[in-house]
């Protein structure tokens, strides 16, 4: 039987600088979803990468006095290195400077043109270099500093150029129909509302080519123009699965199940992208999820403010899984969140070191000492044992429900709440007291606890893959019995199985005097 396919993407980042915590956050969150679906038996394809064209790249390279391609490659390598450092399980790291991507971008352009949606005109308007977008006069404002700003708070300048246009205005009604018929197309709901009211207020045709620089995909048949970067950027999602060759085996992966992106680029993904695809006659993705922004102690990070957090340093300092755990557990996915030293220490010490780490450590070291280093014997289960195991039997279904709507924080919180119940169970059964009075019962309690740890570790893999894997190693769980299908009784810990010597998996963060 062929497995259900699941295609997930992150945005592709601009490699005009080094990756920051916002990029790391998006990769980690998308990775958690991808890992979850894989563990749930799906045939997952996960694509991330870099968006290397556009005027911003061109200008940054000029400022640094290096060729644009060199800037793109140097920083793109940093993004790829970050994906590895964050233990991201992507299947493809995509670069828009790849040759196949030129073919695909020109193909979608030609398909839109063949459909009568592209025409040549002149453009004059307020242009933001940062956003790579033109804005209507009414969307801009002149502030006290005398500078005119666009709706995203970036400076805009008046630009006039010959340009190709995409007939976006013709897609106003089809888009509104799409949002109505498929209420799940944009999530979370507040993002959907924003997009709908924007589209209802009227769509203007979109300028989709540039002549003022040449760093981009040439427009087919008119090489004086390069494509507006968003045309080729969005196309990465289909290039990656074989477009324009719709007979390619990879093409079966389209449509994507979810494009995970930040809230600042929802407009591009929920308006332009479906309009381009409708025009080109390509099926639409199933969902666009706009996550929130990560702020440093409530402030937006920026290079000029100097509070950009280096994600490599963060992972190194707190531990990668600690960092992943904090971001996924603390920030409701879809909302903004903020990071601080105190918050990450408090959260990871409480939930990981003192929570699951402590439960595993205490039960496994008792087993090592009292059960000859083997999985304990399982006597008849008492009602309390059955009760705690039953909580876990239902956990997959519940996580699955949360993950179907990308509520990563909820799926994770539910698993972690079970640790507290397991702690109460362990304290209540007090196996240390049973050691003398009823050693057989002690073994059953230890078996139950170890089995609970096994199930929790299976469920924690999407979020803290390395540490959860170590817990499963400590329980001698085979590599191919770690999926969600192995959570039940059929795969339960076999009494008498030799276990490796226990080791701490979630170290406690200890403050040092030098910070």
User: Residue 241 in contact with residue 253, Cβ under 8 Å?
Assistant: yes
Q: Is 337 in the site for ligand ME8 (CB under 6 A)?
A: no
Q: Is 457 in the site for ligand ME8 (CB under 6 A)?
A: no
Q: Is 274 in the site for ligand ME8 (CB under 6 A)?
A: no
Instruction: Please report how close the Cβ of residue 293 comes to ligand ME8 at its closest, in angstroms.
Output: 4
Strand 186-187 and strand 288-291: the pairing is parallel
* Binding letters toward ligand ME8, positions 294-323, x by CB under 6 A: x------x----------------------
Q: What's the half-sphere exposure (Cβ side, CA atoms, 13 Å) at 108?
A: 30
* Residues 6+ positions from 507 with CB-CB distance below 8 Å: 319, 353, 357
**Of residues 245, 269, 216, 273, the one with CA closest to residue 53:** 216
Instruction: Please report how close the Cβ of residue 11 comes to ligand ME8 at its closest, in angstroms.
Output: 3
Q: Is 264 in the site for ligand ME8 (CB under 6 A)?
A: yes
Q: Is 327 in the site for ligand ME8 (CB under 6 A)?
A: no
Instruction: Please report how close the Cβ of residue 22 comes to ligand ME8 at its closest, in angstroms.
Output: 2
For residue 225, the SS3 value is strand
Tell me the torsion sign for CA atoms 133, 138, 144, 148. Answer: positive
> Which residues from 22-81 bind ligand ME8, rule CB under 6 A?
22-23, 25-26, 51
Which CB, 131 or 414, lies closer to ligand ME8? 131
Contacting range for ligand ME8; rule: CB under 6 A; set: 115-123, 181-189, 262-270, 470-478: 262-270
User: Residue 292 in contact with residue 331, Cβ under 8 Å?
Assistant: yes
Q: What's the half-sphere exposure (Cβ side, CA atoms, 13 Å) at 465?
A: 19
Q: Is 233 in the site for ligand ME8 (CB under 6 A)?
A: yes
Kindly report the number of other CB atoms within 10 A of residue 101's CB atom. 24
Which CB, 10 or 429, lies closer to ligand ME8? 10
Which CB, 155 or 373, lies closer to ligand ME8? 155
Q: Is 14 in the site for ligand ME8 (CB under 6 A)?
A: yes
Strand partners, 335: 333
Which CB, 337 or 431, lies closer to ligand ME8? 337
Rule CB under 6 A: choose which of 8, 11, 44, 206 binds ligand ME8.
11
* Binding letters toward ligand ME8, positions 111-150, x by CB under 6 A: ----------------------------------------
- The whole-angstrom separation of Cα 324 and Cα 463 is 7
* Cis peptide bond upstream of 188, omega within 30: yes
For residue 262, the SS3 value is strand
The binding site for ligand ME8 (CB under 6 A) comprises: 11-14, 22-23, 25-26, 51, 233-234, 236, 261-262, 264-265, 293-294, 301
């Amino acid at each position: 039987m062929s497995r259900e396919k699941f295609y997930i993407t992150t945005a592709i980042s601009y490699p005009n600088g080094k990756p920051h915590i916002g990029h790391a956050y998006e990769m980690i969150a998308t990775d958690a979803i991808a890992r979850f679906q894989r563990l749930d038996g799906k045939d997952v394809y996960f694509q991330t990468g870099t968006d290397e064209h556009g005027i911003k790249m061109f200008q940054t390279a000029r400022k640094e006095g290096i060729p644009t391609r060199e800037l793109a490659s140097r920083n793109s390598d940093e993004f790829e290195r970050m994906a590895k450092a964050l233990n991201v399980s992507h299947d493809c790291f995509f670069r828009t400077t790849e040759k196949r991507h030129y073919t695909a971008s020109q193909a979608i352009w030609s398909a839109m043109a063949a459909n009568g949606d592209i025409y040549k005109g002149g453009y004059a308007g307020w242009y933001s270099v940062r956003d790579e977008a033109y804005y209507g006069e009414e969307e801009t404002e002149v502030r006290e500093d005398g500078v005119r700003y666009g709706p995203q708070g970036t400076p805009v300048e008046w630009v006039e150029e010959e340009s190709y246009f995409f007939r976006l205005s013709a897609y106003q009604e089809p888009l509104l129909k799409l949002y109505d018929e498929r209420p799940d197309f944009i999530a979370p709901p507040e993002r959907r509302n924003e997009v709908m009211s924007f589209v209802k207020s009227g769509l203007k045709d979109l300028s989709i080519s540039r002549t003022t620089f040449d760093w981009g995909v040439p427009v087919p048949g008119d090489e004086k123009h390069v494509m507006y970067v968003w045309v080729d950027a969005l196309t990465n999602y289909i290039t990656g699965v074989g477009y324009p060759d719709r007979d390619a085996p990879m093409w079966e992966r389209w449509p994507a199940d979810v494009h995970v992106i930040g809230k600042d680029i929802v407009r591009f993904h929920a308006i332009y992208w479906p309009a381009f695809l409708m025009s080109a006659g390509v099926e639409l993705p199933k969902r666009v999820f706009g996550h929130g922004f990560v702020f440093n102690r409530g402030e937006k990070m920026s290079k000029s403010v100097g509070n950009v957090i280096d994600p490599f340093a963060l992972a190194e300092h707190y531990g990668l899984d600690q960092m992943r755990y904090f971001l996924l557990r603390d920030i409701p996915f879809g909302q903004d969140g903020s990071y601080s030293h105190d918050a990450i220490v408090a959260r990871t010490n409480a939930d990981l070191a003192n929570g699951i780490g402590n439960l595993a450590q205490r039960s496994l070291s008792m087993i090592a000492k009292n059960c000859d280093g083997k999985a304990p014997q399982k006597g008849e289960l008492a009602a309390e044992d059955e009760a705690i195991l039953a909580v876990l039997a239902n956990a997959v279904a519940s996580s699955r429900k949360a993950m179907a709507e990308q509520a990563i924080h909820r799926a994770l919180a539910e698993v972690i709440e079970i640790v507290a119940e397991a702690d109460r169970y362990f304290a209540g059964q007090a196996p240390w007291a049973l050691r003398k009075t009823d050693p057989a019962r002690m073994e059953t309690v230890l078996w139950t606890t170890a089995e609970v740890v096994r199930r929790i570790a299976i469920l924690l893999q999407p979020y803290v893959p390395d540490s959860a894997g170590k817990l499963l190693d400590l329980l001698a769980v085979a590599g191919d019995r770690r999926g969600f299908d192995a959570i039940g009784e059929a795969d339960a810990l076999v009494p008498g199985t030799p276990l490796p010597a226990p080791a701490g998996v979630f170290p406690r963060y200890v403050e040092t005097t030098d910070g």
